[in-house]
Amino acid sequence: MNKDTIADIITSIRNADMNKKRTVRIPSTNITENIVKILLREGFIENMRKHQENNKDFLVLTLRHRRNRKGPYKAVLNLKRISRPGLRIYSNYQRIPRILGGMGIVILSTSRGIMTDKEARLEEIGGELLCYIW
């Protein structure tokens, strides 16, 4: 049985955000590093650093939280896995969905690597829809 590493990192980040954790540690693979670089570039997380423990590589992510907020806690980061090992979802560049009218991003796996929906539309290539982030 294969392990869905993308769903694991999305769940880890979502759970850490809901529990108001400042950092989260996820296993490091090429796919997770590329996704985390996109999250960092788009401003959804504050910082990323590599950490090695017992000959295993990990990524330590510093999550972005709003300070001095009053009232009930609302999740700052919403992540949703779209394509999964049992059901792959593909899209051409013209039909890539827009999340909240362009406020969120879609992360795609294309023939030119992992990129956001805006980059894929500019390069006019489609691919597998990995996740939505808003």
pTM reported for the whole predicted model:
0.87
Where in the sequence is the domain holding 106, given as residue range(s)? 5-66+75-133
Domain count, the chain: 1
Residues 37-56 pLDDT 10s: 999 999 999 999 999 999 99
- The CATH number of the domain where 9 resides is what? 3.30.1370.30
| Start-to-end C-alpha separation, the chain | 30
Cα distances (Å, whole numbers) of residue 37 to 48, 49, 87: 8, 11, 25
Per-residue pLDDT, 8: 95
Q: How confident is the model at residue 70 (pLDDT cuts 50, 70, 90)?
A: low
Per-residue pLDDT, 3: 86
CA–CA–CA angle 7, 50, 31 (5° rounding) = 35
How far apart (Å, rounded) are the C-alpha atoms in residues 127 and 129? 6
